[in-house]
Structure 1
């Protein structure tokens, strides 16, 4: 009966979908030959600006950035199919309103949660209300411990010394071209799996092996993110119901990820039951030993942390090394800072790397790992810039665009300037000067501010010090390399970042 009902619904909606797609095709062809006089998209009855939105499906982050740069308020409202509204903003006052002042009115919402539920379940990044509060409280307690910080540094150092540096050494000798983006993703995946699970997938082993868990995780991430781009959400739901195409691939990938994660959860529970005291300090052991033994809860929250730790640091570091190749004077300053540290800097030395910290912040200003983040309005509201928000509307703040707003960073916003984050004292020593989190919401802000922020900087600065002390990373393209940003759940370089590794010799 249910199948018949769904099939009938499919037959009813298919003609409408085909009609709309036909209009889109004709309009797209017309627009190519007759470009619009204004950058702002036209809005039509019933379908709103859906035509323009679909035509910019692949470059939506860059396109919406142009719209926001051209908007006097830094905000733009899209009218979409059947009267739906989507608001996008790069206005810092609006961001503070959403993420702090009226936090309770801007939630993940059922639309976003349904898209990511198959993959993330009820993990901390996919829930609101009491469930989020509970997971946040538990996670916050576990993150704020010296033991975990020490464990993270040990994990990163081991991966760096045993795998990344030897791989770069071999590449320098053999003059091999490496895809730095893939290498850093593998590095980050090994790290976060060891930190979250106490499990080493060994993705960065010399042969760069294919790992079923890592590949399934990548498939689940990419396909889940593409659901957000679907012209009609019904389209992916129909494919999921009939288990075909990308949705079949997603089901298989998610099953592999969750089965693997659940197996580790059960093994860890047994390991803890057999011991009188906690010896492991990975996050999963901490959650389970603190009394949170529900297997689904543990699986959901750890998968969420892997997602957060895998792509964010690797994305930031990939863009960092590219920007460094274009700004040799910045690289010289970083090398001066590294030279003053020990070969394997301890935590206090890493903490004191303020110029490197500023360079990483500046990298993420221009290329934030999460370029756009959306919320749903629970009730009607008015943003500080006067934008009306209807109940159920999607409101997205746009870190990528915010890093490119003249109103926030001045006319030279396109320049890579670590000095924006620094000031010198009377002795000429640099000190770090942060920006408020609503002008720079790369780590979110307010109650949902990223718990792993300090962990991320610890990892990234350790990698920068370990790599640049020994090697120079050079883009492999002979005529220069200009990457193209592609955004899934996080931002990446389209087709990777091919580089050559040069031995720097003894920095000291």
Structure 2
């Protein structure tokens, strides 16, 4: 589809830009000039920018927020619809995520954006639907059977991954540890209005090894299904992967695209593409859910989840199953693979840390070089993993600097006052910034931007957690990630296997590594590594 042909005429663009700027000026005048007299002298956080600034800095959005957070712990961005409040203040974050939890929700606006893609899954809903799914999922994650089953799956896939790396190491070829998921279109700023253009319609997907491994793991642990993603994808699975990533990216754009509702109504542009992708996703998921046998006892999460739901026939439908599956995928695939990619980047930039982790793994497993890859993977018991405090600290330090979800927002449901004394209004989006928080000196000291796993260890070398309102990579309060320990266990097993057998180095030490501005913090343009046998 040629989006240039759909661009509005220049006269319309200029007129719309003027209207946008006029609206922003009106809001400033009303709330900051007249507001102090007409709105009971309420105090609002300082204005640090506008939607125009966000779009202009979109390719480095999280660093732009970091600069603003250095200046103001909490600030506001002017948008045409409502205010956007951003904070790195742990007191404000605790208030939003815990103290006054009921007043800060996903909200109708975010639900409308996310529902086509993720439906009524746990990441999109509030209220009773969220509490019901949360309770069932929490019970499932706490079972010993699931822990043991998932550990076995992780060990098997880690061994498969190591065998692939071994072949690459022998051939001395560089591996793309992250991926270029797709080209899906960009937004440019012209006269203060957003114009959508597609840069490359020939969509391209390069599945990296971590994405394949975590996808295989989540399908086996989550749904009891073998995808065999490490051996290559069937055509249907390939189409699903492409549609899933495109849908995730296109959904993110709705937060900035003021015209997305109009495009959805007319079924044009990005919304038309999204609709086609959702159809592909639904067909793929329907194929797998139709194979689920609820009468057969299984250890995967979906089957166990559905057994608990059998008495609630109203929710037992295809849409319900689809929503559960997609929410599990986005939690179990993207976040873990993204963190592992940044982790290996940091290991290559800090070879002493890489060497230390390898030693810690060897000591915890009492392994020797005579064990095969599969034998070593099987030796990664829960007891052995719990001894790897330095590895746990290094993974946590990676998440501090490169959180899988760099920005997370809620909607204020009624006028409120935050602990810092400033007001927020009903309908305001209030977001905290995990990426920026990891770089705040008032939280982490003068070396906040330095990768130092030791900051998480006490004098005895034992891992010491920080407040979840300071280290927000897994959220906090009632919505804290229930799969936190699940993710750590998977990452530890993968890392332990790889670092026991290989040493990793960057293909190009001088090449700058940047992120892509997406829902998850993906590495842009891939990360190429050389693996060497130990």
The TM-score by the shorter chain falls in which range? 0.7 to 0.9
Deviation of residue 385 (structure 1)?
A: 1.2
1:455 aligned residue (471, 480, 486): 486
| SS of residue in 2 equivalent to 1:59 | helix
Which residues in structure 2 correspond to 1:351-500 (within 5 Å)? 351-425=386-460, 430-477=461-508, 479-500=509-530
CA distance in 1, matches of 2:273, 2:79: 29
Deviation of residue 414 (structure 1)?
A: 1.0
Match of 2:372? none
2:96 aligned residue (95, 98, 110): 98
Match of 1:133? 131
Deviation of residue 207 (structure 1)?
A: 8.3
Which residues in structure 2 correspond to 1:222-301 (within 5 Å)? 222-230=249-257, 232=258, 235-268=259-292, 271-273=293-295, 275=296, 278=297, 280-292=298-310, 293-301=316-324
1:164 aligned residue (158, 161, 166): 161
- Greater CA deviation, 143-152 or 46-55? 46-55
2:334 aligned residue (286, 311, 329): 311
The answer to whether the Cα contact below 8 Å between 1:87 and 1:395 also exists between their aligned partners in 2 is: yes
CA deviations 1:164-212 (Å, max 9, x no partner) are 1111011111122211012211111111111111122222216898722
Deviation of residue 20 (structure 1)?
A: 3.9
CA distance in 1, matches of 2:62, 2:527: 20
The answer to whether the Cα contact below 8 Å between 1:485 and 1:492 also exists between their aligned partners in 2 is: yes
CA distance in 2, matches of 1:187, 1:156: 9
CA RMSD of aligned residues (A): 2.4
CA distance 1:305–1:159, change in 2 (3 Å): same
CA distance in 1, matches of 2:466, 2:144: 26
The answer to whether the Cα contact below 8 Å between 2:247 and 2:274 also exists between their aligned partners in 1 is: yes
CA distance in 2, matches of 1:223, 1:433: 39
Say whether residues 1:330 and 2:328 are aligned partners: no
CA distance in 1, matches of 2:266, 2:422: 41
The answer to whether the Cα contact below 8 Å between 2:58 and 2:517 also exists between their aligned partners in 1 is: no
Match of 2:56? 55
Query: How many corresponding residue pairs?
Result: 460
CA distance 1:307–1:11, change in 2 (3 Å): closer
TM (normalized to structure 2)? 0.82
TM (normalized to structure 1)? 0.86
CA distance 1:485–1:272, change in 2 (3 Å): same
Deviation of residue 496 (structure 1)?
A: 1.2
The answer to whether the Cα contact below 8 Å between 1:167 and 1:206 also exists between their aligned partners in 2 is: no
CA distance in 1, matches of 2:240, 2:433: 31
- Greater CA deviation, 458-467 or 468-477? 468-477
Residue ranges of structure 2 left out of the alignment (5+ in a row): 1-5, 29-48, 179-207, 311-315, 368-375
Say whether residues 1:215 and 2:250 are aligned partners: no
CA distance in 1, matches of 2:531, 2:93: 41
Say whether residues 1:79 and 2:78 are aligned partners: yes
| SS of residue in 1 equivalent to 2:229 | coil
Deviation of residue 154 (structure 1)?
A: 1.1
CA distance in 2, matches of 1:109, 1:15: 36
Residue ranges of structure 1 left out of the alignment (5+ in a row): 1-9, 26-42
Deviation of residue 440 (structure 1)?
A: 0.5
Deviation of residue 330 (structure 1)?
A: 1.1
Deviation of residue 46 (structure 1)?
A: 5.2
